[in-house]
Amino acid sequence: MFKTRILRSLTDLQKEKQHDYRNVVITQILIVTLGLTLSGPVLENSSSPLSKFIILIFFGFGTVYNFLLWDLLRNFTKSRILIIVIFCVLVGMIIFGTLTEFPYYKFIEMDRRTVLLIIHGSLFPIEITIIAFAIRDIFMDDYFTPDKLWGAAAVFLMVGISFGSLYDLICTIKPGSLNPGLELGFPTYSECVNYSFCVIGGVETNQPDATKILRNISVLEAVWSTLFTVLIIGKLLGLPKPEDNPKS
């Protein structure tokens, strides 16, 4: 009876993780797809009504994405301190971003570089933390379950988005690191995410003016993403299904 309860508990946890991973992946796909297709007007004129509406859409998706990442984190750790701290940081960044970077009205006037440094400097460590937990989760068990497949997709896309944040952070510290003609804020961030996914996808980046530090980091990203793909394919293909275990 006790063993049956444990198995049911593990099954429920796997279903919960699969549900959370799937939600994260769907949101990531929407963010990346819309970012690659709708960023044109923002790059041309970030102050136009259409650009402001597009930025508002991404602000909403970003808020949902941050909440989904926090919800996913709760599957990986029982540390209430870590969960509460990350939740408070995410909520604080959403409120701070709304007050300082809302596209239709600036509630608080601050230097944009300072605002972006605070936002990306706070969010990037959280993204890396969740990626680390997710990788440990994927490689921890001895059996293939559907949540691992969704988890692998979530981590791969999360790496692309988080490195985009890192590139944007570098561009904020040293404007023009990716492209001297880009405006700080959403235009630079959208191009940084585009650059990041070109790197992990093996596509020509079309950013000849990228500085040496960005190119070096992009090489690390490309090597890591390729290594992760190789390892995850080998891991998933080599795992037996739970029902194949004669003791289960």
pLDDT in tens, 45-57: 888 888 889 888 8
Domain-located, residue 1 = no
Integer Cα distance of 125 and 184 in angstroms: 21
Residue 38 pLDDT: 83
Q: How far is CA 226 from CA 49, 159, 201, in A?
A: 40, 12, 9
Predicted TM-score (pTM) of the model is: 0.85
Residue 184 pLDDT: 85
Higher pLDDT, 192 or 8: 192
Give the other-Cβ count within 10 Å of 11's Cβ: 12
Domain-located, residue 242 = no
Residue 158 pLDDT: 92
Q: Give residue 8's identity as a one-letter amino acid code.
A: R
Domain-located, residue 84 = yes
Q: Give residue 106's identity as a one-letter amino acid code.
A: K
Task: Using alpha carbons, select from 188, 181, 177 the residue that is nearest to residue 217.
Answer: 177
Q: In the predicted model, what is the mean pLDDT of residues 167-195? A: 87
Give the other-Cβ count within 10 Å of 169's Cβ: 19
Total number of domains in the chain: 1
Residue 50: which domain range?
Answer: 17-237
Residue 245 pLDDT: 53
Residue 5: is it exposed, middle or buried by C-beta count within 10 angstroms (0-12/13-18/19+)?
exposed
Sign of the alpha-carbon torsion through 166, 172, 174, 179: positive
Domain-located, residue 40 = yes
What does the pLDDT look like over 107-141, one tens digit per residue? Answer: 888 888 898 899 888 888 999 999 999 988 888 76
Domain-located, residue 24 = yes
What does the pLDDT look like over 65-122, one tens digit per residue? Answer: 999 999 999 988 888 999 999 999 999 999 998 888 888 887 888 888 898 899 888 8
Which of 209-213, 222-226, 240-244 holds the top average pLDDT?
A: 222-226
Domain-located, residue 78 = yes
Residue 43 pLDDT: 83
Domain-located, residue 102 = yes
Domain-located, residue 8 = no
Mean of all residue pLDDT scores within the chain: 83
8 A C-beta contact, residue 22 and residue 150: yes
Q: In the predicted model, what is the mean pLDDT of residues 142-168? A: 85
Residue 13 pLDDT: 66
pLDDT at 4 over 70: no
